[in-house]
Structure 1
Amino acid sequence: MIYMIGVSKDVPLNIRQKLSFTKSRLMDALLSIKLYVEGCVILSTCNRTEIYVEGDNKVDEIIDILGFRDFKDTFFYKEERECIEHLLNVACGFYSNILGEEQILGQVRDALIVSEELKVISGTLKRLFDVAISCGKEFRFKSSLYKYPVSSSSIVIDYCRKNGVKRYMLIGYGDVNRLTAKYILSNEFDILYIAVRDVEKVNIEDKRVVAINFKDKAQYIRDVEGIICATSAPHTVLRRDELKDFRGYIFDLAVPRDVEDVKDLVDVVYFDIDTVTSINDRNVEMRRRIMEENRYIIQKYRDEFINYIKIRGLSDVIRKLQKSSDNVYKKRLKRYINKYPDSDFKTLEILFKSTSDAYVNRAIEVLKQELIEGRGEECLRIVEKIFMI
């Protein structure tokens, strides 16, 4: 059985950050869950924590393993068809706080890669995630969502631009802030400081962009009007005392939060990931309409995967049919050779086997089609009688 348990984007941020995973904790969790199931994948982002599983229902055990017992009521559960549809919708951006945002597809891919590297993935789960990634790619291509950019980065920089911000600092330079940097560079600005632990990772050729060592960031904060934080640290990285001379906007795009509580600081306007995504964007309604028009793509991939699951259940029957085919042609060939011993054995074997296989292969194709169309049980009963398997 395939199922998932998850914490949705609608759960308050202060709860979501307690249920999120750092990379090392995520790997430990996967290895622990695998002891109880056939395969598992954890999708952990700033908006959601979702655990996908193939195996027996071990929901209570998984929640206990993760130490989430006190938050059990915040989880939702889906299995089989609903689980499949949920992941496909996630990969296409339907369930993102920022409708149709593109980063989720990369996060789905990264979640799969981690499970593959740890060897905790099952064949069916791998197939499901591969299908979800293909679905997300086709959905975005046919929807042309790039024409209507919406992401936390685009919302933040659009907001800053409208409020006259031209001096920026990025804290962290992962996927989110790389995208943020692109939006800053595409607009008018005076200076962009990028605070990282390894300044060599920043290779932007623009004299207005300055890579600074993470530990030196406090020296530059007074010189900026907008700070965007997006690290993967399990703790806060921007302290209140570092902001005593700061006047401007802080956008905390991380889960768990990167910034200490600064809401009471005078002249500091603070946004967490939830308040960022609540800012209205002119492209949202256009995206929603286009995405709904292309929902048929999700339905196509869903049906293809469900058919794969159904046909996979025929593996034992197919093996029996193939064995029956071998037995039939070998018996017939033996009788013929006994009667005509001077015959060309190899040529006859090819002829007898190909004839027998042709009928069995046709039976298999019909059985698959009938199963997909909901008449599998009756067809299977007939095939078993004909081939005596």
Structure 2
Amino acid sequence: MIQLIGLKHDVKIEIREKLSIIPIRQEKYLEALLNICEEAVILSTCNRTEIYFKSMDEDIIIKIFKALNWDEDLIKCVVNYKGDKAIQHLMEVVCGFDSLLLGEDQILGQVRDAYEITKGLKSNKKELQRLFENAIACGKHFRTKSKISEIPVSSSSMVVKKAIDKGHKNFMILGYGTVGELTSKYILEAKIDMLYIAVRDAQKVNIEDPRVKIIPFNDLTKYYDKVDCVISCTTAPHTVIHLDELPNKKLLLFDLAVPRDIEEIVSENPLYEVYDIDMLGDIHDANYKKRLSSMKDNKYIVDKAIKEFIEWKTIEELAPFIQKIRHIGEDVYKERLTTFKHKKETKDNEELAELLLKSTSNAYVNRAIVVLKEEHLKGRSKQCEDIISRIFQI
């Protein structure tokens, strides 16, 4: 059975960071999951940790927490969806219905990335492979039809808009992964003076713009005085912005990372205006109603994708029985083929072929008649007639 465990919506960031999975640990955790699950996919973003898996084990949730070295007392902080509910959830996630920022445009790429990691480890087989491929296709189709990308929203766009609205012109970004790259794009679309990008590997950044300066991550404290807004989005497992390293001046700081990049005590200082990922929903977004309307109008795409996958999965459950039918069919024709080969030199071939073909037909027609009579005596002839009529195209 396909299942999902994911963080409840009301779980605070203090708990989420304890159940987060940073990219460098994702493969290791997947390997641990494959020891207890048939299939597994980890979807971990700044705002969610979800594990999709296939298992019939009633104690699987406890086993997953143990495999990932998570505190079992936090099981109460996760939901466990099974079967159709898990399928529905993923389809809605990939289209942005379950995001903190409704319709945000990063989640499709994040689901695709999660799926790509599993392909290398072969941790997704038939069902999860089909589910994620269908979900990604659904997400693409939904965005094309709804034109939701024409009303863009992401954590990056929201924080940059807030900073620009406040009149800030000098920025610093910590980290240059997917979020950092998108954030820099939004910043450079605005009228700014300078953008400093702090990275550990300068080769990862390729921006030709006189307003951009790439700085070594270890030197970032030397540049705090030059900026009025810092946006941190690293994948570090620990804090990277500390109170005793910040300048004695007003700063706007956004923490888009989970685990958090900014130590909690920073927000207690009146000089610093600090926003973490949980606070982004409070930032005013004028496009919210437009996105909501477009998403509601195109929800049928999600519903259709859910229905199609459930139908595929239901039919797939018949696969073992269908395989048996095919084997029986092969046995029947092989038996008659063997008879033909043995007798073709001693009998008239046309007469022999007619005899064997009629024998093949009778093998099924006569059996259908026997079953129909048996079901008629049990009062089920109507249902049996309907099925046999469809098989024989009567």
TM over 0.5: yes
Query: Quick one: distance in 2 between partners of 1:380 and 1:46?
Result: 57
Structure 1 residue 336: Cα displacement: 5.4
Kindly indicate whether the alpha-carbon contact (under 8 Å) linking 2:41 and 2:51 is maintained by their aligned counterparts in 1: yes
Query: Quick one: distance in 2 between partners of 1:68 and 1:18?
Result: 8
Query: Quick one: distance in 1 between partners of 2:338 and 2:177?
Result: 69
Q: 1:332 to 1:243 in 2, by over 3 A?
A: same
Amino acid at match of 2:28: D
Query: Quick one: distance in 2 between partners of 1:211 and 1:24?
Result: 23
Matched, 1:2 2:6: no
Structure 1 residue 276: Cα displacement: 2.1
What secondary structure sits across from 1:217 in the alignment? helix
Unaligned runs of 5+ in 2: 369-382
Structure 1 residue 238: Cα displacement: 1.3
Match of 2:130 among 102, 119, 127: 127
Deviations, residues 275-299 of structure 1 (Å, cap 9, x unaligned): 1232120111110110111111111
Query: Quick one: distance in 2 between partners of 1:175 and 1:294?
Result: 27
Structure 1 residue 24: Cα displacement: 3.7
Kindly indicate whether the alpha-carbon contact (under 8 Å) linking 1:8 and 1:48 is maintained by their aligned counterparts in 2: no
Deviations, residues 111-167 of structure 1 (Å, cap 9, x unaligned): 112222222222211111111111111111111112111111111111111110011
Structure 1 residue 69: Cα displacement: 0.3
Matched, 1:266 2:267: no
Match of 2:154 among 151, 154, 157: 151
Match of 2:303 among 299, 304, 315: 299
Structure 1 residue 324: Cα displacement: 2.7
Deviates more, 1:176-185 or 1:109-118: 109-118
Query: Quick one: distance in 1 between partners of 2:33 and 2:222?
Result: 45
Query: Quick one: distance in 2 between partners of 1:233 and 1:380?
Result: 66
Match of 1:188 among 187, 191, 195: 191
Find the counterpart in structure 1 of residue 376 from structure 2: none
Deviations, residues 12-63 of structure 1 (Å, cap 9, x unaligned): 1111111101234333322222112211111111111111111213122212
Query: Quick one: distance in 1 between partners of 2:203 and 2:336?
Result: 73
Find the counterpart in structure 2 of residue 77 from structure 1: 80
Find the counterpart in structure 1 of residue 255 from structure 2: 252
Find the counterpart in structure 2 of residue 318 from structure 1: 322
Unaligned runs of 5+ in 1: 364-377
Query: Quick one: distance in 2 between partners of 1:335 and 1:25?
Result: 62
Kindly indicate whether the alpha-carbon contact (under 8 Å) linking 2:224 and 2:247 is maintained by their aligned counterparts in 1: no
Find the counterpart in structure 2 of residue 374 from structure 1: none
Larger CA Rg, structure 1 vs 2: 2
Deviates more, 1:11-20 or 1:328-337: 328-337
What secondary structure sits across from 1:251 in the alignment? strand
Amino acid at match of 1:309: K
Find the counterpart in structure 1 of residue 144 from structure 2: 141
Query: Quick one: distance in 2 between partners of 1:341 and 1:176?
Result: 79
Q: 1:183 to 1:379 in 2, by over 3 A?
A: farther
Q: 1:115 to 1:42 in 2, by over 3 A?
A: same
Q: Any residues of structure 2 matched to 1:337-356 within 5 Å, and which?
A: 338=343, 341=346
Find the counterpart in structure 1 of residue 117 from structure 2: 114
Query: Quick one: distance in 2 between partners of 1:36 and 1:380?
Result: 46
Query: Quick one: distance in 1 between partners of 2:385 and 2:40?
Result: 32
Q: 1:137 to 1:343 in 2, by over 3 A?
A: farther
Q: 1:48 to 1:9 in 2, by over 3 A?
A: farther
Matched, 1:277 2:281: yes
Query: Quick one: distance in 1 between partners of 2:332 and 2:75?
Result: 57
Find the counterpart in structure 2 of residue 16 from structure 1: 16
Kindly indicate whether the alpha-carbon contact (under 8 Å) linking 1:225 and 1:247 is maintained by their aligned counterparts in 2: yes
Q: Any residues of structure 2 matched to 1:15-54 within 5 Å, and which?
A: 15-54=15-54
Kindly indicate whether the alpha-carbon contact (under 8 Å) linking 1:6 and 1:48 is maintained by their aligned counterparts in 2: yes
Amino acid at match of 1:69: E
Amino acid at match of 1:283: N
What secondary structure sits across from 1:127 in the alignment? helix
For this pair of structures, how many residues does the alignment match?
Answer: 363
Match of 2:217 among 209, 214, 218: 214
Q: 1:381 to 1:42 in 2, by over 3 A?
A: farther
Kindly indicate whether the alpha-carbon contact (under 8 Å) linking 1:221 and 1:246 is maintained by their aligned counterparts in 2: no
Query: Quick one: distance in 2 between partners of 1:126 and 1:246?
Result: 51
Structure 1 residue 187: Cα displacement: 1.0
Find the counterpart in structure 2 of residue 61 from structure 1: 63
Structure 1 residue 308: Cα displacement: 1.2
Match of 1:198 among 197, 201, 214: 201
Query: Quick one: distance in 1 between partners of 2:153 and 2:284?
Result: 10
Amino acid at match of 1:313: E
Find the counterpart in structure 2 of residue 369 from structure 1: none
What secondary structure sits across from 1:95 in the alignment? coil
TM-score, normalization by structure 2? 0.85
Amino acid at match of 2:107: I
Structure 1 residue 169: Cα displacement: 0.5
Deviations, residues 257-291 of structure 1 (Å, cap 9, x unaligned): 01112112232111111112321201111101101
Find the counterpart in structure 2 of residue 168 from structure 1: 171
Query: Quick one: distance in 2 between partners of 1:380 and 1:150?
Result: 57
Deviations, residues 84-114 of structure 1 (Å, cap 9, x unaligned): 0001001111111111111111111121122
Query: Quick one: distance in 2 between partners of 1:278 and 1:177?
Result: 21
Q: Any residues of structure 2 matched to 1:329-344 within 5 Å, and which?
A: 329-333=333-337, 338=343, 341=346
Deviates more, 1:270-279 or 1:322-331: 322-331
Matched, 1:286 2:290: yes
Q: 1:316 to 1:177 in 2, by over 3 A?
A: same
Deviates more, 1:209-218 or 1:316-325: 316-325
Q: 1:100 to 1:343 in 2, by over 3 A?
A: farther
